[in-house]
Amino acid sequence: MSQPAPPDVPNARGVLPNGRARLPEWLRVNLPAGGAQTTFNGTLNIVEGNELHTVCEEARCPNIHDCWARGTATFMIAGKECTRGCRFCSVETLKQPKPLDGDEPERLAEAVERMGLDYVVITVVNRDDQPDGGAAHYRACIEAVRRRLPSIGIELLCSDLDGNWQALESLLDDSPLAVFAHNVECVPRLDSEVRDPRASFEQSLEVLRRAKAARPDGWTKSSLMVGLGENDVEVTDAMRQLRSVGVELLTLGQYLAPGRPGTRFVPVDRYVTPAQFDRWDEEARAMGFLGVAAGPLVRSSYRAGQLLHEAQRSRRAV
């Protein structure tokens, strides 16, 4: 009688016994060790000690060990439950999350100061339960960080505020943000399969267009995931649309399903090679994007400060 294969041996289709496909070599990550592990633990202690949430944890980011071991983290504000149920995201969905925490802005600012950051990324959950989509709370968090650290660079990865343009203007008016980011997530054709019904590529484009109009001196940024069922031509077209509304910073990365096959999450359609990401990187720069990060493990907030510095150098060189 034959014995079952060991748990790390895939079948002929490259699928492991737990139902997951074996990841290509280029998607493997290394765990921190030595001094990097010490820094990782310190980051964890600061996040937990200030009762904060990070998208690194809640969205199961594959780069958490790399970023935390360098003393950086992407903070997630307005709670850890989202009012939307996108099929690519592991953040818990609740129609009525807990009330917004009025003490969160100061706890966030203290954590950023303790970590010694010179650039911070703040991302948010959707708060469709709030009349302004959470915009006033997001702004309070940004301003608390700036009061404590006047020279820090701040990037906000914002929701679409459910199309509340007045709330968006209030959030951005005289804002200390260096970068306003909002992700289109996937190519337009896949909206209905991937994103919550309240979200769309068209609405996300309008968010980015209005953000650039409100802050023409600021930077706008967006991100695309691939491996959801799109083709290469659709990715190129989506990049062109983002550039048409003034977006200067772009990230492209491989989608990795956060749950087992058969769950609510969209299955991975393909694993895109590093060579294809390199081709998209070249296309994006030719379109006029000034800062581009494209690769299998790239995520929207990955090494965000470095991406902005790259774009600033590119602008000065023009």
pLDDT digits (tens, 9 = 90+) for 228-263: 999 999 999 999 999 999 999 999 999 988 766 667
pLDDT of 158: 97
Distance CA 68, CA 78 (A): 21
pLDDT digits (tens, 9 = 90+) for 42-76: 555 555 555 555 544 444 555 555 554 444 567 88
Percent of the chain with pLDDT over 70: 77
6: confidence class by pLDDT, cuts 50, 70, 90? very low
H runs (alpha helix) in 135-259: 135-148, 165-172, 191-194, 201-214, 232-244
pLDDT digits (tens, 9 = 90+) for 259-309: 666 678 999 999 999 999 999 999 999 999 999 999 998 988 878 888 999
Phi, psi dihedral angles at 88 (to 5 degrees): -110, -5
Taken in order of first residue, the domains within the chain and their CATH numbers are: 50-317 (3.20.20.70)
Provide mean pLDDT across the span 145-163.
95
The structure tokens 């949430």 sit at 53
Provide mean pLDDT across the span 23-35.
64
Residue 250 bridge partners (DSSP): 222, 292
pLDDT of 14: 39
